[in-house]
Amino acid sequence: MKTVYADLHIHIGGTTRNRPVKITASPALRFDAIIKECLERKGMDLIGIVDCASPGVLMDIRELIKSGELMELPEGGLLHRDRVTVIPGSELETVEEGGACHLVSFFPFLTQISEFSNLMSSYVTNMELSSQRASLQAGELYDVVRRCGGVMMPAHVFTPHKGAYGNVTERMSELFGRDDFESISAVELGLSADTFIADHLSELSEKTFLSNSDAHSLPKIAREYNVLELEKVNFREMVLAFNRSSGRRVVANYGMDPKLGRYHRSFCNNCSRVVEAPPPVLSCPDCGAVSPNFVTGVYDRVVQIQDNPGAVHPDHRPPYHYQIPLHFVPGLNEKFYSRLIECFGSEMAVLHKASPEELLFAVGRDIAKDIVMAREGKLELASGGGGRYGKVTGYESDNEQLKLL
- HSE of 357, CA atoms in CB hemisphere, 13 A: 0
Question: pLDDT value at position 261?
Answer: 75
- The C-alpha atoms of residue 336 and residue 401 are separated, in whole angstroms, by 14
Question: pLDDT value at position 395?
Answer: 46
Average pLDDT over residues 281-295: 93
Residue 278 makes CB contacts below 8 A (sequence gap 6+) with none
Q: How high is the mean pLDDT of the chain?
A: 91
Structural fold of domain 325-403: DNA polymerase; domain 1 (1.10.150)
Helix 356-363 / helix 365-375 crossing angle, nearest 10 deg:
140
Angle at 156 between CA 243 and CA 221, to 5 degrees: 90
Model confidence pLDDT, tens digit, residues 12-46 = 999 999 999 999 999 999 999 999 999 999 999 99
- The C-alpha atoms of residue 123 and residue 139 are separated, in whole angstroms, by 14
Model confidence pLDDT, tens digit, residues 39-71 = 999 999 999 999 999 999 999 999 999 999 999
Question: pLDDT value at position 195?
Answer: 96
**Distance linking the first and last C-alpha atoms of the chain:** 34
> Contact, 165 vs 172, CB < 8 A?
yes
Percent of the chain whose pLDDT exceeds 70: 93
Average pLDDT over residues 159-173: 94
Looking at per-residue pLDDT, the higher value among 237 and 323 belongs to 237
| pLDDT-wise least confident of 182-191, 302-311, 393-402 | 393-402
Sheet holding 273-274, edge to edge: 273-274, 267-268, 294-295
Q: In this model, does residue 153 exceed pLDDT 50? A: yes
Amino acid at the residue 275: V
Question: pLDDT value at position 382?
Answer: 57
Tell me the CATH number for domain 2-256.
Answer: 3.20.20.140
Phi-psi region for residue 17, left (φ > 0), alpha (ψ -120 to 50) or beta?
A: alpha
Average pLDDT over residues 325-346: 88
Domain boundaries, the chain: 2-256, 325-403
For residue 111, which of 142, 72, 151, 146 has the smallest C-alpha distance? 72
